[in-house]
Structure 1
């Protein structure tokens, strides 16, 4: 390929890379704020007392501040793309580890909380001399036939009432009797059934947050590759500039072509 044409191609490619890097900085800042708002607005908190709740919120705030700073740096960095690539890969690694940690501290305890309260206690049914769970009386919005202690039931009520959700995986999670917290106040008492219960699963907002974090992880990995490609492009152009300081590679290319034609003649 002609050197002049190749240099022109690399310059246009570098311009596109820089434009994409400017856009990537804005995307990172917007996505980071979106993830934080999803976390803050939807009660995505651990439900066991041992989880470091304040440390989690501080981690989220610190991570968002870090991503905003990185996004601003991506916009104004200029040609320092070799510095951006490892920074973005590090941020992607932090996002992946944080998402995994939140699954252990929030998602798994919530799953255990619901699963330990979703089954019917046959011993209770026998003690009440009942054949079906539907005949069991309610206590604080829960059928006495359900397993789990009062504290667990209160915590599930808190989740379902605040998030307007029903069941860990949806209202079908409660296969027999629906807790009254699964319905709005318009369906109090025996009116709360599967047909009128909230259709949204209680893991919905956590899944939305997890998807947001995973998207940020994928974006940061892609942007780090883009930064590396931009750095390679700019370094190669700098090498050509050093080789041809006066920009006379065009005349050299033409002279080489002329020399080849004379040799053939």
Structure 2
């Protein structure tokens, strides 16, 4: 391939890479804020007393700050690389500097992706699993209680603090479940069908107080909904950061190679040099 054509192709490819990197910086910043808002606004908190709550919130804030810094750096470096690609033949040092910065961005983005993956796994252990245990230990009917009350079915059992006395679990667990269901307007760990017999009164809005709270009018949203939304957001960020790190590496290689070609052909006379080489070969053959 002719050197001039190859340089033109790489230059146009660099413009495409830079455009993607510029968009990736914006996407990272927007998604990081979205994940944080989902976490903060929807009562996604650990219900295990041993879970380090302050460390969790501090980790979220640190991660968002890191992603925002990386996103801002992507935008700045992309603008620098765009200028360098325009003035490739006049200021090749700009192109070289942008290429080196992209080269350093690639492992940084990969490290951020690794942090996202580890935090997502840790939050599942500290938040999702304790919530599952909390609901599961209170979802079954206590047959001993039914016998002591001389009842045949759980529907006949009286309510205490919005719960049928036939349900397992202590009062503290029931209060915690009520807190989740009332604040998130949800019902059950996996949905209202989680409560196979009688739904707690916290599963319904105030319009269905007392015996009016049944499965048919209970909240349809599962109580893990917002955690699942947050987890999906984190996983998408992980995938995107991995892709963006590969894109940064490709942009760096393209930019540095263009800077190398410019150093080899400072005057941009690719065709004249190729012609002279061809002429020399012809004379040798003659």
Normalised to the residue count of structure 1, the TM-score between the two structures is: 0.95
Q: Give the deviation of 1:202 after TM superposition.
A: 0.1
Offset from partner CA, 1:121-169 (integer Å, 9 cap, x none): 1111111111111111111111111110100000000000000000000
Q: Give the deviation of 1:242 after TM superposition.
A: 2.2
Q: When the two structures are aligned, how many residues end up with a matched partner?
A: 263
Q: Describe the SS at the equivalent of 1:220.
A: helix
Decide which moves more: 235-244 or 178-187: 235-244
**Structure 1 segments unaligned to the other structure (5+ residues):** none
Q: Give the deviation of 1:260 after TM superposition.
A: 6.8
Aligned match for 2:229, one of 186, 190, 208:
208
- Residues in 2 aligned to 1:262 and 1:114: alpha-carbon distance in whole angstroms: 88
Q: Give the deviation of 1:3 after TM superposition.
A: 1.1
The question of whether the paired residues in 1 share the 8 Å contact of 2:163 and 2:201 is answered with yes
- Residues in 2 aligned to 1:84 and 1:154: alpha-carbon distance in whole angstroms: 48
Q: Give the deviation of 1:256 after TM superposition.
A: 4.6
The question of whether the paired residues in 1 share the 8 Å contact of 2:14 and 2:254 is answered with yes
- Residues in 1 aligned to 2:61 and 2:126: alpha-carbon distance in whole angstroms: 17
- Residues in 2 aligned to 1:6 and 1:213: alpha-carbon distance in whole angstroms: 40
**Structure 2 segments unaligned to the other structure (5+ residues):** 75-97
The question of whether the paired residues in 1 share the 8 Å contact of 2:100 and 2:256 is answered with no
Decide which moves more: 239-248 or 1-10: 239-248
- Residues in 2 aligned to 1:128 and 1:255: alpha-carbon distance in whole angstroms: 104
CA gap of 1:198–1:264, structure 2 versus 1, over 3 A, is farther
Offset from partner CA, 1:53-85 (integer Å, 9 cap, x none): 1111111111111111111111xx675101100
Aligned CA RMSD, in angstroms, stands at 1.7
Q: Give the deviation of 1:263 after TM superposition.
A: 8.3
Offset from partner CA, 1:213-247 (integer Å, 9 cap, x none): 11111111111000000111112112212222221
- Residues in 1 aligned to 2:150 and 2:199: alpha-carbon distance in whole angstroms: 21
- Residues in 2 aligned to 1:108 and 1:250: alpha-carbon distance in whole angstroms: 66
Q: Describe the SS at the equivalent of 2:45.
A: coil
Q: Give the deviation of 1:23 after TM superposition.
A: 1.2
